[in-house]
Structures are given as structure tokens and as C-alpha cells.
Amino acid sequence: MNNKILIIEDNPVLSRVLCNWLERKGWQTEQTTSAIQARRMLASTDAGVILSDIRLPDGDGVEILEWMNREQIRIPFVVMTEYAEVGSAVRAMKLGAKDYLPKPVVPEKLYAILNGLFQQQPQGQKTIFHRESKRMKEAERQAKLVAATDLSVLVRGENGTGKEYIAHLIHSLSRRAEQPFVPVDCGALPKELAASELFGHVRGAFTGATDHKTGLLNEAEGGTLFLDEIGNLSYEVQALLLRVLQERRYRQVGGRRETAADVRIIAATNENLEHAIQEGRFREDLYHRLNEFTIPVPTLAECREDILPLAEFFRERDNLRFGKETTGFDAEACKALQNHHWTGNVRELKNCIQQAVLLAEGDTIGVRDLNLQASEKACSFALKAENEERKRIMKALEAAGNNKALAAVLLQISRPTLYEKMKKYGIETEK
């Protein structure tokens, strides 16, 4: 957890007194007097704790906390309150505030609260790391450019590269920043329920629909809907999504009434959608609607200057999470980190450092703690197994004369499973 504290207080005298006192105690501070400005700052802050007044000129601390919950910003929140505002403080606590501080502020009480929070292990805290590589800076530059528009955006890149980070950056810098950002993992949506999850349904729309349900599109109203791995949506759901992009209207499953949709859609994919179009798995018209602006996200291997700074960032974070006191990496470990392939990108690096911090017995993390050799062996074994499976599928398709139903029988798997594996391995057949 960063030792910075964001103070949201409309009394400039009290705000300055708090900042001076906290800085003398060794904390960093930043401050604002406005709820609107606070939301803008929270989109990119690296603060470890937020200290907020209940009453503000353009809102209140409870509304900021509600907005943080919608945006999934997990930074410990402490409210400052007058005696007459205790009811609001209780409401804030129910929404997830860590504590409340009566006014006038007693320094010893504030010190005790902050000390306790900074010693806690952060649970799901939003982590922000500003990368310096040219390739990633270019992706961020494009994100900032398109944020000023309302264009649909397609973010392309391998798994673990940070596609959702780019999507959230676009949202946080757009006119929709104060409205919801709703991320959806399209691969995790059950195919038979995907339409209901996205668009909602009316009671009785299908077996089991005992209640009315508002969908994720409705949750994102006024804001941004982020569709991760868009290629996993069925052809039928793609048609419904196309109508939203074309007409800005949709119907709930089983419903007759149309609903207007004021939502920006950002999609992401790790596959070649052009190939999916050729195979008949993805709609070309939807592709062009989503692809009004494309941002490619580089792999970690293409941004090697980011590896060691990212490793240090994760090490410091994991020290706090696990109560460890590692001080850095030895020269051999640094060299190993720089030379590793990182096929899993930033996600793989994060997991590697997490394990290394836990395993380290001394102050310095060594190459043995990183366990990269085991990671490479596992990766090599997995790639070998995947290559063998791809060869078996190719042989079955050849034997079946490209008849997928027959090939699935030869492989002793279902036809949908065969389609998924062909998509995974980029296998194309003549139509």
C-alpha cells in the first residue's frame, strides 16, 4: 500500500493543517475540495488511504464511496464527520468505509486509524503502475486521444498484457468518467444465458426466469461497457449487440418494449477476428462497428524496459500483503527476469514475484526464489501437448474430408468442443 493519503475536505484551513501534520509524520498527501475533482483524481491516484469529509460543495463523501464501489476502486476510505452527521457516517460504514473520525479531529485518533490501515494487508486494492516503455506509452497515448471522442474501440493483445487497463484509462479520461465502468468477461458468460446477462430479461421469458432482470447494458447506462474477449459471444448475441451499436436501442429477452442505450462500448480480443469472420464465427458488420478505433497492446517481451520496474512494484506491494521485508533482487535474479520469455505477460510476472516474495528466506530475492526454470519447463510441456493435440485435430479433419461432425466422432469429442479447439489453435478448413 502506498503511503500517500488523499484528503477530500472543503475547508482549506483544516485541509492544510491535516496535510502539514501528516507530512511531518512521514506520509505523503494530496488534496482536493471538490467531489468532482476527487473522482478525476481517483481514476489515476496511487494513494493508499482516502480521508474524506461528509459534506462537500458539490456532493458528499458517501456519494464518492458509492461511485468507488461501482468503479471497483478498492482504496481504504475514512470519513470525517460532525456529530450531527453520524447517520451519514454509519451509512458510509455500511458501504465499506473502514472507519470514521469525529470533528474536531484529534491527531492521536487519526494517527491510530491510519497506522492500523497501513499495517493491514490490502484486499483487492486497485493497483496502478505507470509504465515507461515506448510501446506501452504509445498505447496509452492512443487511449488518451480516443477518450475525447465517443467512438467504439477495439483493444487487441495477448492474454495478460493489460487490455482492461487501457479500456479503463479511456473511460477515466472521457466525458463518461463519473458514470459506471462495467467489465464483462464474455468467455465466462454461459452461452445460453449470455443474452439475458447482457440485455436482461422479463419475467417468464424462459424456463427459470421467475423475476425481472436488468442486464449489464443497463448497469453501464451513461458509462462504458467493456466486453473482454468479444470473440466468445455467440452469433445470435452478436446480432443483438450490433443493433445496440447501430440504433442505440435494445429489448430485454422476452420483452416487447425498446430501451434507449446511452453506452460506450469498448471491446477486447486476443484472437484474429478477421479469421473468425472468414470461418463464419464472427459478424463482419459487427466487427466494423466495434473497430472504429483500434489500440494494439504490446506483449511484455516487447517492453523489456518495463520488466524490472514492474517486478519492483509487485515486490513492494507483496511485501505489504504478506508481511515480508524483502529489499530487492540480486544481480542474477535481475538477469533472469530480463531474459525470461514471459509468454503470460504482466500476469505471469505478477504471479512469479508473488511466489518469490513468499519463498524468499533472506532480504534479497534470488534466482532460485523466482523458480523460472520450473515455469519454463511447464510452459514447454504445455506447448508440446498443445502441438500434439493440434496435429491430431488436423489429421482427423483430413481423414474426414473436412467434415467437422465426422472429425469430432473420430476424435471422440463433441462438435462444439471441436469448434472451440479449432478456434484455439487457429485451424481453418475450406468451406
- From start to end of 186-272, where are the E strands? 224-228, 249-251, 258-260, 264-269
Which regions of the chain are under pLDDT 70? 1-2, 83-86, 119-130, 201, 203-210, 212, 254-255, 320-321, 373-385, 412, 429-431
User: Is this structure's pTM higher than 0.85?
Assistant: no
- Cross-strand partners of 5: 29, 49
d(CA 127, CA 124): 9
> What topology does CATH give the domain 4-119?
Rossmann fold (3.40.50)
**Grid cell of 23 as nine digits:** 507530512
Return residue ranges of the chain for CATH 1.10.8.60: 304-370
- Report the alpha-carbon distance of residue 397 to residue 405 in Å, rounded: 9
Taking only the tens place, the pLDDT of each residue in 312-353 is: 988 887 776 677 888 999 999 999 999 998 999 999 999 999
Q: Is 182 left (phi over 0), alpha (psi -120 to 50) or beta?
A: beta
Q: Using CA atoms of 399, 401, 405, 409 in order, give the dihedral in degrees to the nearest 10.
A: -10
Give per-residue burial for 291-307: e unless 16+ CB within 10 Å, then b: eebebebbbbeebeebb
- Name the segment(s) of the chain with CATH classification 3.40.50.300: 134-296
Other residues' Cβ atoms within 10 Å of the Cβ of residue 45: 18
267-279 as b/e, with b when 16 or more CB fall inside 10 Å?
A: bbbbbebeebbeb
Q: What is the pLDDT of residues 226-285, one digit of tens each?
A: 999 999 999 989 999 999 999 998 888 766 788 888 999 999 999 999 989 998 999 999
CATH number of 380-425: 1.10.10
In this prediction, residue 187 carries a pLDDT of 83
* CATH domain 304-370 topology: Helicase, Ruva Protein; domain 3 (1.10.8)
